[in-house]
Structure 1
Amino acid sequence: MSTNTGVSNEDALTLTKDQRKRVRARSWRLLASLAAKQKPMLVLTLVLVVISNAARAAFPLLIAWAIDWGLPQVTSGNVAALGITGGAYVLCAILAGTLLGWYILCTARMSQAMLLDLRLKVFRHTQRLSLEFHENYTSGRIISRQTSDLETLRELLDQGISELVSSGVFVVFTLLSIFLLDWRSGFLVMIAAIPISLLFAWYQHRSEVVYRESRVVSARLIGSFVETMTGIRAVKAFRKEKANDASYGKVAAEFRDNSIRSINLFGVLQPGLVLIGNLAVAAVLAWGGFRILDGTLAVGVLVALLLATKRVFQPVEGIAMFYSSLQAATAALEKVSGLLEEAPSVVEPEKPRPLGDVAGALRFSNAVFGYGDGPVIMDRFDLDIPAGQTIAVVGQTGAGKSTLAKLIARFYDLRSGSLTLDSVPIEQIGNDDLRRHVVMVTQESFLFSGTVSENIALGKPGASIEEIILAARAVGAHEFITALPEGYDTDVNKRGGRVSSGQRQLISFARAFLADPAVLILDEATSSLDIPSERAVQRGLQTLLGNRTALIIAHRLSTVQIADRVLVVHDGKIVEDGSPAELIGSQGRFAALHKAWRESLV
């Protein structure tokens, strides 16, 4: 799925130069938008960093003043000069230390506020994205965005940016102090900027590629781990430990090799900067020494120049270290900004049409559907489902049964044609209204961490325990729930690990029935149930469906017996439509399926 910039989020290694510029601009716009919310704190930190580094940069000037003016004054009997120069130095030291500490505290608070904002933004946006996105974008990659990438950004914002800004301001002020002391020596030091710029350009060009690769490999590493751990039962059942070890080891080795390449690049950058800095100090010393001999430079000034030149290159080495973090964070920021650029394929209407009492009548007219930009799955079909009717949808695997359910739940939109609920186009109905009146129970029957009652109450937030128990009784779940260690207060643990798959399905049924929707969709929702549980659910369905519109998708034809009407789907088309009795007598596809099912029971 492409982003609004027209650049795929995972194609960072194959981008053209213009695309790379757009991605980088998009990333920095995101960072700027986060910083804009911290404007007062940002202004304060800028003031603090300027004053504190101006005070720090004044130390060489004070030393030159103390040597060339203070010492002659003291030797001539003016002892107060020592107090004046020493007091000025102590005052600058206190000012620099205090304001620098305040600056670090402010930047820490600002960075944490920005990270919190970004973390919540990523979480909310990921939830808002359509099902199509989540079916294409693996959970491992999403987890990587929320964990590894944001952690890389945290390291940069907590330390990197504050150090980069502080070091950069300090370098500027120190260079100014050198020019104030002796402009000729200032130009000599500035010559060192040429090889430094070339070295940084060399590093940036190569490190961009390495760090982009790092984010991709990191996401694959996390994705491989998450997939293995979430599917650990299948791993053990099919003895895939060795195969998984080999595949995970391969990705881990790629990550190691990538890390080594980044370390090697930095291993050239930092020693190169140290070498350039030492050569610059040596040049200032030689140049200044000759000028002292001919009387054109004072001793105090030379001492201050050497100190300032040494100090100007110390932050440059720090900048190099944090520049490495910046490159890693920039690559992470590109991934995060790419995720935030993803747009939902199913869009909330700007002015949703309110729904009153919903009967549940559904109608497809001349409907055409295909996933994404892929081929058409269901082509120009019409379907009318009156309110209160129970429809069973059967057919071979991949025929389009679940697609029909996803369209009614508006997980996807039609390419053309229309789908209405009580004559209102479904794309004009607000999500809150739609989710309240259309509820879907899937084969997965996902349970969230929490108690049984909390999971059932998801269907109706704020429901009383009496309502929860009534819903559980209706679907035949009450007996096994009360047999649990703490009954309805039993914690189901991660993904419902303390209950069986059939019990999880019954809990999800109770959740759906508590919601009391106008339209209920069961997408192969009885597939995990044993025969006694299935019969209990069927009894509950017969009691509770009442005037509710129901769409039941099932391979088990026992579920079809309670339906008013059966749709047989084949290759994306509705090929048979009628009551169960009519279709059994027609000798068509449903009759063949029904015969095979009857024979399987013998």
Structure 2
Amino acid sequence: MSDNTVQGVSGEERSSLTPEESARIRKRSLKLLGELVRPVRGRVILTMVVVILSTAAQVAGPALIAFGLNQALPAVLDQADWGPAFLAVGALLASGIVGAVLISWYTILSARVSQAILLDLRLRVFAHTQDLSLDFHESYTSGRIISRQTSDLDAIRELLDSGINQLVSGVLYMSFTAVAMVLLDPISALVIAIALIPLLLLGRWFQRRSQVLFRQQRVASAQTIVKFVETMTGIRAVKAFRARRRNEEEFGEKVENLRGINARVIGLFGIFDPGLILIANVSVAVIVLVGGLRVAGGAIAIGTLLAAVLYAKRFFDPVEDMAMFYNSYQSAAAALEKISGVLEEEPGVPAPQAPVALHTPRGHLEFRETTFGYGNGVEILPKFSLEIPAGQTIALVGATGAGKTTLAKLMSRFYDPTSGRVTLDGVDLRDLDDAHLRRAVVMVTQEAYLFSGTIADNIALGNPDATREQIIEAARAVGADTFIEAMPAGFDTDVNKRGGRLSAGQRQLVSFARAFLADPAVLLLDEATASLDIPGERAVQNALQTLLASRTAVIIAHRLSTVAIADRVLVMEQGQIVEDDTPEALISGTGRFAKLHAAWRNSLV
């Protein structure tokens, strides 16, 4: 996995990066932006042409008014010639209509471009985060991932929907207006040029202060979202440990911090907006004063002065929008950096270069001098070797941290070994086609995660192409059909969020039906009965007899009642197998498992 600076490049962390790292991040973000724009570049070019034409139509208005007052009106009064007047009015109406139509067209085109880019980006982020390995998701908090798909994409949407519109139309409008003023009245244009000096100073002041505040605002907003998401996700722990008051205090601090930053942002605009209005009004007043004296002296016509005043007022209109663009740009740039950082992440479990198909897996597993350690560098499995014949059921027991779940994760290829090999029917899992691996090896965990939808939908996750009859048969095979048919809508009962409508035992039976429907050659059960009560465990034990038949099975269990159905028991300590035999042989001995079994029997008494 890549450096942490790649994942979090906004806020205070951004300022701690070296110039080389900042340049690399900007380059990465620009590359992503180019990839997103490339498929819609034709529409982007058309949009630019339309906005140029619409801006030209809008800017033509004051010049046409000047023509009407300077040429058309005297022609009517002096010569009774209405031609120039009709021409001026017609041209003014035409420019207004054309401008309105083109603005409407531009709005639609730009919206389609932005939505196409956002659709592409959303799909990329979703698909890539699914492809990333388990190590990424175990280190990258759920709140941060949600923030990538929500607030970060919203920031980019805001920039694409309105920010770029404001910048492009504002720059074009100011440029066209400046050109029109120079052609119409150079002296008034000189007044505007002089006004640009305090305008640029004010803009620079706003830019430097807003850059800091907007960055703090984004960081505070993200921290608030992360705290909220993590609290709601862990609401059971919050209630169990009476952490409500502490969470309220911590969340209140983050919200208060965000409120204070927002207040400072508002104060910033409280200075910028009046300053902008003052510069605009002073400029118009100077143009009116100088122009009025020149009109009185006959140097320019009244229509020219009126057009100059209109241009001067309009010249400053886009400035505030362009300043707001800077806010949108800062937010979107930081968001794009974070999203590009996620998209840059490489899966810790890469797809095979030349995938090997395994159409009829038998389930023969083997570890060959396998070593493995997580990202912290601690070695969990030192030179581990193990062979599991096809069709054999083994049980893994041992203290927490002995390496049992690590073995299961390696067998399902959630991780790759640091060295050595893990093979299925003689094929290294790193070379096995991913689709074939997922069909051959299925893992059922203690959590028994159910997705929103019906019970039938959740069972069908094991085989999306299964028929209704196959789904019912899978439930019947593991004994889940009895409680399902007693539900209000049977198999069409909605399980609610995470299966909240079902008990722990019922959720586990549904997950077993899902695994039965998948029909894997290798089934991994990681503490599958740990959260169940005695009646629930008995129901699951009965289901296991059917589920494990004629397939390779690896059962990780602390409850030794589950071990009785195994052909072979492996006792693990510190990443090594210290005992390996049938349950009966180990129970009758004097080793580690015999002591564990005796302690378990005494606990039942």
AA aligned opposite 1:186 = A
Secondary structure of the residue aligned to 2:370 is strand
The whole-number CA distance in structure 2 between the counterparts of 1:117 and 1:375 is 39
The whole-number CA distance in structure 2 between the counterparts of 1:178 and 1:322 is 25
Indicate which of 176, 198, 201 corresponds to 1:195: 198
The corresponding residue for 1:72 is: 74
Partner deviation per Cα, 1:465-492 (whole Å, 9 max, x = no partner): 3322332233222222222222222211
In the alignment, does 2:447 pair up with 1:415? no
AA aligned opposite 1:341 = E
In the alignment, does 2:574 pair up with 1:571? yes
In the alignment, does 2:347 pair up with 1:344? yes
The corresponding residue for 1:42 is: 44
The corresponding residue for 2:558 is: 555
Query: Structure 2: any 5+ residue segments left out of the alignment?
Result: none
The whole-number CA distance in structure 2 between the counterparts of 1:597 and 1:62 is 96
Partner deviation per Cα, 1:519-562 (whole Å, 9 max, x = no partner): 10000011122323323433333344233111110100111111
In the alignment, does 2:437 pair up with 1:434? yes
The whole-number CA distance in structure 2 between the counterparts of 1:134 and 1:224 is 17
AA aligned opposite 2:390 = A
- On the 8 A contact 1:55/1:93 being kept in 2, the answer is yes
In the alignment, does 2:596 pair up with 1:593? yes
User: What displacement does 1:33 show?
Assistant: 2.7
Change (3 A) 1:213 1:429: farther
AA aligned opposite 2:532 = L
AA aligned opposite 1:255 = L
- On the 8 A contact 1:3/1:9 being kept in 2, the answer is no
Secondary structure of the residue aligned to 2:316 is helix
- On the 8 A contact 1:156/1:325 being kept in 2, the answer is yes
The whole-number CA distance in structure 1 between the counterparts of 2:46 and 2:292 is 43
Indicate which of 516, 519, 540 corresponds to 2:519: 516
Indicate which of 505, 512, 521 corresponds to 1:502: 505
- On the 8 A contact 1:4/1:342 being kept in 2, the answer is no
Change (3 A) 1:331 1:112: same
Residues paired across the two proteins, number: 602
The whole-number CA distance in structure 1 between the counterparts of 2:392 and 2:255 is 55
The corresponding residue for 1:459 is: 462
User: What displacement does 1:289 show?
Assistant: 4.5
The corresponding residue for 1:62 is: 64
Question: TM-score w.r.t. structure 2 length?
Answer: 0.93
In the alignment, does 2:324 pair up with 1:325? no
Indicate which of 417, 424, 428 corresponds to 2:427: 424
Partner deviation per Cα, 1:147-202 (whole Å, 9 max, x = no partner): 22222332332222223222221111111101112334434423333433343333
Query: Structure 1: any 5+ residue segments left out of the alignment?
Result: none
- On the 8 A contact 2:214/2:327 being kept in 1, the answer is no
In the alignment, does 2:516 pair up with 1:535? no
The corresponding residue for 1:114 is: 117
Question: 148-157 vs 405-414, which deviates more?
Answer: 148-157
- On the 8 A contact 1:145/1:335 being kept in 2, the answer is yes
Question: 24-33 vs 134-143, which deviates more?
Answer: 24-33
The corresponding residue for 1:390 is: 393
Change (3 A) 1:482 1:13: farther
The whole-number CA distance in structure 2 between the counterparts of 1:410 and 1:209 is 44
User: What displacement does 1:581 show?
Assistant: 3.1
Change (3 A) 1:282 1:130: same
Partner deviation per Cα, 1:366-392 (whole Å, 9 max, x = no partner): 212112253222222112222112111
User: What displacement does 1:213 show?
Assistant: 3.1
AA aligned opposite 1:110 = V
User: What displacement does 1:265 show?
Assistant: 2.7
- On the 8 A contact 1:281/1:310 being kept in 2, the answer is yes
The whole-number CA distance in structure 1 between the counterparts of 2:242 and 2:7 is 40
- On the 8 A contact 1:266/1:324 being kept in 2, the answer is no
Matches within 5 A, 1:249-288: 249-288=252-291
Partner deviation per Cα, 1:343-366 (whole Å, 9 max, x = no partner): 221111232111131111111122
- On the 8 A contact 2:478/2:546 being kept in 1, the answer is no
Question: 330-339 vs 363-372, which deviates more?
Answer: 330-339
The corresponding residue for 2:29 is: 27
- On the 8 A contact 1:207/1:327 being kept in 2, the answer is no
Secondary structure of the residue aligned to 1:552 is strand
